[in-house]
Structure 1
Amino acid sequence: MNRAGPLPRGALLLLALLGAACSSAYKIQRDMPSELSASAVVVYPFLFRWPEPAFRSFELSQRLIDVALSEAGEQAFFFGPSEFKLYRPEDDNAWAASTAVTLLAPYGVRPDQALVLRAWAERRIQSAQGELLDAQGRPIGQSTVEETTYLGHVELVHPSTQRRVLEISGEAQADPFAERSDDGADPAPELTRLMEELTRQALRALDEHLHAPREPSPAPATVALVPWKAFEYSDEGRPAHVGALALMDPLDGEILRQQRLRFANPRVETSILDRMIRLPEGLYVLSAPEAGKLAPGDLLLQIDGQTALPHVLARTRLGPTPAQAQVRRVDGGTSQILLP
């Protein structure tokens, strides 16, 4: 990317130190008993240690759930932030600090067979002064460059014993001069990549301890998320973004929706996202087995009475009974089906 004006000497020094945004080695602490066996993981809303709108906590948690599903979606049930109330996010006794335990019984999972995944991050910002030089190398002024470091943490907690069975942490530095190709969809891509990798490593460490209650059925479809559920999420001190979105200039609101749609689906083609932008919240079917219950272009609206989300759909593959799903067909009609 071409930028007008010379780079400050301090910025060049920071670039040499930063290079591309990079991560440090991960620090891992384990207290995982050999007898631990889990069939469910409850994912908490992402905790930012600095001010962010509520929808960011929801959508970053959803990104981490996507990572968890890719790693262990056939080994355990996963539950997300929109499905329970959280009162004390840092209390290791999650069954007393949230309503999450009520989610387990319909799937035949005992409380001692479930874990909680908590992810959170700190942000540290340091400033460096540098000289601005003209083409002849003569000083013409001063400039300030900020260095941002993200410190990420993922914890796996066994609420029934209030035991932290795994803690993994790492850090990533943001490159202030990196080119962004996502039209502003991710305000902190280095943080996102760090938290994805920490979650991936945490689930891999848990691999031998996750046991599905039954063999998973075949996946009914490949889907993309229409993520407007994120705007409905709120917690203490942070209201849902629905009201603010309604008051925004229509063009600004459209840009925000496009950005959130792209963040939720970083690998989906722009032409498909353009189709999805006008849809209600749910799961857009990208592909499906021939002669299956779903077809490309369908939109899963609800599953068992709640908004269709990736982990809700994934649970239908392991559930003890079929789930009832509401589908808006590609031709515009609506139907009810049973999954799997």
Structure 2
Amino acid sequence: MKRLGPSLLARGLLPLVALAALACRGPSVQVKRDVPEDLGASAVVVYPFLFRWQAPPWRAVELSQRLVDVGLAEAGDATLFFGPGEVRVYRPEEDNAWAASDAVAVLAPHGVRPDAALVLRPRAERRVQSGERELVDSHGRTMGRSAQETVVYLGTVEVLHPASQRVVLEVSGEATADPFADVTDDGADPAPELTRLMEDLTREALKGLSGALRPPRAPSPPLATEVAWIPWETPGLAAELEGKDLLDAEVLRRQRLRFANPGVAPAELDALAGLPAGLHVRAVPPGAKLAAGDLVLSLDGRPAPPQALERVRMMQVPAEASVRRSSGRIVSLQLP
């Protein structure tokens, strides 16, 4: 029988104490707020996630899209959200975001002035702390060494007012990865602690902006009450899939579908995996033009992530939606 014996206290105590303290430390969130009292924001553009370590391009889009989903849940009726797959960002760390991206051109059709929009920039770094302990038998004899590694994510959500090149809000925090946590999503989320941290920081940021978010016009009633996003058009994902064999590509596709829809049951995701890219309608309010089972393929000829359908509710003119009915027939609808 192996156990941790007395020699552990003499030889490995300090590294273990440091690791244990790090792993048990609770979340800590810091908020720096400098929001002008007269700020009125009709739109929030969420940038692709900035990883301070190597990650595939599609990860930067899908993680930020999860933050857009948080925004829709927390403030979807208060402002327009634009996601990371809808804007091209050339220099993500430049405060003059209108010169460093094509966001102004994306905002214009929605009647949003550049001085009435904000940019949400999420980023994180990963720190690794290593240590080791000795394994001893009941007689105190050394049986070997066990390496230990603790991963800590340091996350930040920055809210920028590009028109004044001013950071109006910054929320930061940290989370420690749990190497012993149960994997319940078949590996769809490679860093669940990071995802939860960034979602929490985004909620905190939106709370700090609550008085500054003002819709460009009163939203019409919801077009759908539950949707699922089929993310095959995520920038960079198609190239990644093409480089894999059929089995690995299918595993990756299903993982990305699951990551995009954390609240959808696996059996339903299996059915959605065979559909083309788009926004699957799961439930609608009474009298809606859309129906449960519809797949919104595009809006005004562009892809239809969840925030695009929400923006239609505040548009000046109707949007033309290409919709695949549950029968397979494709129809054109004017929304809202």
Question: 1:44, 1:61 within 8 Å by CA — same for their partners in 2?
Answer: yes
**SS of residue in 2 equivalent to 1:325:** strand
Question: Equivalences for 1:144-159 in 2 at 5 Å?
Answer: 144-159=147-162
TM-score by length of 2: 0.92
Distance of 1:334 and 1:228 partners within structure 2: 19
Q: CA deviation at 1:217?
A: 1.1
Separation in 2, partners of 1:245, 1:270: 21
Q: Give the counterpart letter for 1:25 in structure 2.
A: S
- Amino acid of the residue matched to residue 268 of structure 1? V
1:227 pairs, out of 231, 234, 253, with: 231
CA distance in 1, matches of 2:135, 2:243: 42
Any gaps of 5 or more consecutive residues in structure 2?
none
Corresponding position of 1:305: 301
Counterpart-to-counterpart distance in 2, 1:337 and 1:23: 49
Instruction: Output the TM-score relative to the length of structure 1.
Output: 0.91
Tell me the CA shift for residue 294 of structure 1. 1.4
Matched, 1:142 2:145: yes
Compute the RMSD of aligned alpha carbons: 2.0
Of 79-88 and 143-152, the range deviating more from structure 2: 79-88
Counterpart CA distance in 1 for 2:4 and 2:227 is: 44
Question: What is the CA–CA distance in structure 1 between the aligned matches of 2:41 and 2:189, rounded to whole Å?
Answer: 33
Counting only pairs closer than 5 Å after superposition, residues 122-271 of structure 1 correspond to structure 2 as 122-134=125-137, 138-221=141-224, 222-230=226-234, 233=235, 240-271=236-267
Matches within 5 A, 1:55-70: 55-70=58-73
TM-superposed CA distance for 1:195, in Å, is 0.3
Q: Is the 8 A contact 2:16 2:132 kept in 1?
A: no
The alignment-based identity, stated in percent, is 56
For 2:110, the aligned partner's letter is Y
How far residue 314 of structure 1 moved from its aligned partner, in angstroms, is 0.7
Query: How far apart, in 1, do the equivalents of 2:190 and 2:257 lie?
Result: 14
1:89 matched to 2:85? The reply is: no
* CA-to-aligned-CA distance 1:220-272 (integer Å, 9 cap, x gap): 11201101122xx2xxxxxx242331231211111111111111111101111
Unaligned runs of 5+ in 1: 234-239
8 Å CA contact 1:38, 1:210 repeated in 2: yes
**Matched length:** 327
Does structure 2 conserve the Cα–Cα contact (< 8 Å) formed by 1:23 and 1:170?
Answer: no
Can you list the C-alpha shifts for 1:100-120, whole angstroms capped at 9, x where unaligned? Answer: 011222111111100000000
Q: Bigger CA drift: 187-196 or 103-112?
A: 103-112
